Structure 1
Amino acid sequence: MNVMSIAGSGLRAAHLGVQAAAANVARLPVAGAPRIGVAQSPVAGGGVAAGLVELPPDPSAPVSDLVAAKEAVLAFSANALLIRRSDQMLGALLDVHA
């Protein structure tokens, strides 16, 4: 795998994390609504695979869901920055080579 595909898998996992946290916050007033989270596992060659899992009830759910959303947003930003820098480096390399 290359850097772009590794960062792309990180973007997808972070996006899924934001969606899961938002869904948990939206369902907060619904009694008995299941909480969901994201399970990530490494992929051979680099990157991650992400999927939704059901989480146990948590009395501190509003706070932990908001923290999880913020964490996912930061992970998304970090992977997006990696893609931008990789693109800039490739452009600079092509400029030098030309």
Structure 2
Amino acid sequence: MGNILAIAGSGMRAAQQGVLVAAHNVASLDASDATRLQVLRGAAPAGGVQSVVGTTPQDPTAPLTDLLAARNEVLAFTANAAVIRRSDGMLGALLDATA
């Protein structure tokens, strides 16, 4: 069960990073010298997600792309939170059954 929590927690952290990156990109649209950021994700050795923030070239479709990315990150965060809630419920049911 602990592994499920670690995997879902890493997904939540990656999604949070994605929302922050999208917010940064939208907030710095008017700045000509602003650096556009992106989240690079990969599989963690023990399961879950590793994420790193890197730079990416400017993109003329960036505002729409960033807003859609932020929405997707919120959905990913919500899905991982649901996994944690479900895991907690299953553990509670298991403890009730064995008590």
User: Which band: TM-score by shorter chain?
Assistant: over 0.9
List aligned pairs for 1:83-94, cutoff 5 A. 83-94=84-95
Q: What amino acid does structure 2 have at the position aligned with 1:18?
A: V
Query: How far 1:62 moved relative to its partner?
Result: 0.3
Give the 4+ runs in structure 1 shifted more than 2 A. none
Query: How far 1:32 moved relative to its partner?
Result: 2.9
Q: In the aligned structure 2, how far is the partner of 1:74 from the partner of 1:55? A: 23
Q: In the aligned structure 2, how far is the partner of 1:34 from the partner of 1:87? A: 40
Equivalence for 2:68 = 67
Query: How far 1:3 moved relative to its partner?
Result: 0.1
Equivalence for 1:18 = 19
Q: What amino acid does structure 1 have at the position aligned with 2:93?
A: A
RMSD of aligned Cα (Å): 0.9
Q: In the aligned structure 1, how far is the partner of 2:25 from the partner of 2:49? A: 23
Equivalence for 2:37 = 36
What 5-or-longer segments of structure 2 have no aligned partner?
none
List aligned pairs for 1:36-55, cutoff 5 A. 36-55=37-56
Q: In the aligned structure 2, how far is the partner of 1:88 from the partner of 1:26? A: 39
- Give the secondary structure class of the aligned counterpart of 1:32: coil
Q: In the aligned structure 1, how far is the partner of 2:67 from the partner of 2:33? A: 19
Per-residue deviation, residues 2-45 of structure 1 (Å, max 9, x unmatched): 10000000000000000000000000111131110100110112
Equivalence for 2:59 = 58
Question: TM-score normalised to the size of structure 1?
Answer: 0.96
Percent of aligned positions with the same letter in both sequences? 53
